[in-house]
Amino acid sequence: MFELIIFEIVGILNTSSRYFHWKLGLYAILFVLVVVLPFYIAYFTVSNIKLVAQFRVVLTLASWLVFLYFFWKTGDQFPILSPKHGVLSIEQCIGRIGVIGVTLMAVLSGFGAVNYPYTSMAYFLSEVGYVEGQDDNEDKENGVESKLPVEVP
């Protein structure tokens, strides 16, 4: 895909050839994202269940069909349906993948923004011993602000 953008800028290849390869690349990526990856994930998830080894393919197909149903229903809430394009057009799939991708990135980003400070807080906290605490209390009672040397001009 990146090469096709460079070819468009430089003017290499025929326009119809670039358009054909652009569409072919998009259809291949969509096929992998909508068909291949969910099918493999469902297959390997079902194969981990020891009780259903003989129905592995049937359960994989059933779970993939459930994924397709929810994948399609996800796009119903968003205004990505255009009357200019058909129901099974490339624009519909790209819109749904975009909505799901942005939502997942937002959820993962929010989780990381909250989880990392929580898990790494222990590295920055240090225990204050009794003697150190007593020294600080005595300094406060004597009116000493800090133990840093103060330069007098």
What's the pLDDT at 121? 78
Contact of 32 with 93, CB cutoff 8 Å:
no
pLDDT band at residue 132 under the 50/70/90 scheme? low
pLDDT band at residue 16 under the 50/70/90 scheme? confident
Q: Is the pLDDT of residue 82 over 80?
A: no
Contact of 46 with 63, CB cutoff 8 Å:
yes
Q: Is the pLDDT of residue 37 over 80?
A: yes
d(CA 22, CA 1): 7
Region 80-109: what's the mean pLDDT? 80
Contact of 120 with 100, CB cutoff 8 Å:
no
What's the pLDDT at 134? 60
Q: Is the pLDDT of residue 153 over 70?
A: no
What's the pLDDT at 63? 94
pTM given for the model = 0.64
d(CA 68, CA 38): 9
What's the pLDDT at 105? 95
Mean pLDDT across the chain: 79
What's the pLDDT at 141? 64
